[in-house]
């Protein structure tokens, strides 16, 4: 099982979060292929922070990586796509465009809406995703909290929604919480393995 894992808007593919998540997924038997969107590649070259590229450019880059990985691992390999925050959202958009060969999507910290703006939901495209999709979300995530999602009712396109108790957008719990960020990331990887077993292996 191979997952193409995209970074979020503000941190690169080797951020501590992505590094820890990729290692945890690997421990679960899911090999990760990481990449960077063009704006992040430029930031790595000159050190200047930039806003993310526009969606068409992000999707073009993502689809090129998918094509390259598919060619490398062969057509028979089970391929997942996913990512942190914006990267997960782009994975879900890409899967909604009927991209052949994608067996599942996993979004870690999905940006359901901008923080403080729960009237601007980013879920309309999810109903177009034809493969299984899982969202792993911290209960303190300002981009989408349990009560806000409960008020939305069932969201078409999401096969499984997992809540990590105490986690924020980076799965970081409060200081006095019994869990740690590392343990919540491990939980996220374990839920990904179970998602593969329950939804992807049978598809």
Tokens in use for 78? 């089970």
Among candidates 148, 140, 147, 155, which has minimal Cα distance to 118? 148
Cα(83)–Cα(177) distance, rounded to whole angstroms?
A: 25
Tokens in use for 129? 């995703």
Tokens in use for 64? 């090129």
pLDDT value, residue 201: 80
CA atoms within a 13 Å half-sphere pointing along the CA-CB vector of 1? 22
Alpha helices in 97-180 (DSSP H): 146-152
DSSP state letter for 52? P
Tokens in use for 4? 């193409």
pLDDT value, residue 32: 97
Q: Which CATH number does the domain housing residue 168 bear? A: 3.40.50.1820
pTM confidence score: 0.95
pLDDT beyond 90 at 23: yes
pLDDT beyond 70 at 98: no
The total domain count for the chain is 1
> pLDDT by residue (tens digit) across 32-88?
999 999 999 999 999 899 999 999 999 999 999 999 999 998 877 889 999 999 999
Residue where the block lists tokens 């501590």: 16
> pLDDT by residue (tens digit) across 103-141?
999 999 999 999 999 899 999 999 999 899 999 999 999
Q: Which strands form 79-84's sheet, in the order they lie side by side?
A: 31-35, 2-6, 79-84, 102-108, 133-138, 160-164
**What is the average pLDDT value for the chain, to the nearest integer?**
94
pLDDT value, residue 202: 64
Range of the domain at 48: 2-200
Residue 203: which pLDDT band, with cuts at 50, 70 and 90?
low
């Amino acid at each position: 099982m191979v997952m193409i894992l995209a970074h979020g808007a503000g941190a690169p593919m080797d951020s501590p979060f992505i590094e820890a998540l990729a290692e945890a997924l690997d421990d679960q038997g899911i090999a990760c292929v990481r990449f960077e969107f063009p704006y992040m590649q430029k930031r790595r070259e000159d050190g200047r922070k930039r806003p993310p590229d526009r969606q068409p450019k992000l999707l073009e880059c993502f689809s090129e990586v998918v094509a390259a990985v598919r060619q490398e691992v062969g057509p028979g390999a089970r391929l997942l796509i996913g990512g942190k925050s914006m990267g997960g959202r782009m994975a879900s958009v890409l899967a909604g465009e009927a991209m052949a060969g994608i067996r599942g999507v996993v979004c870690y910290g999905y940006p359901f809406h901008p923080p403080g703006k729960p009237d601007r939901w980013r879920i309309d495209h999810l109903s177009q995703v034809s493969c299984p999709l899982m969202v792993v979300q911290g209960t303190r995530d300002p981009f989408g909290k349990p009560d806000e999602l409960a008020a939305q009712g069932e969201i078409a396109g999401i096969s499984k929604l997992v809540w990590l108790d105490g986690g924020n957008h980076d799965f970081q719990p409060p200081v006095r919480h019994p869990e740690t960020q590392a343990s919540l990331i491990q939980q996220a990887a374990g839920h990904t393995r179970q998602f593969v077993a329950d939804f992807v292996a049978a598809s």
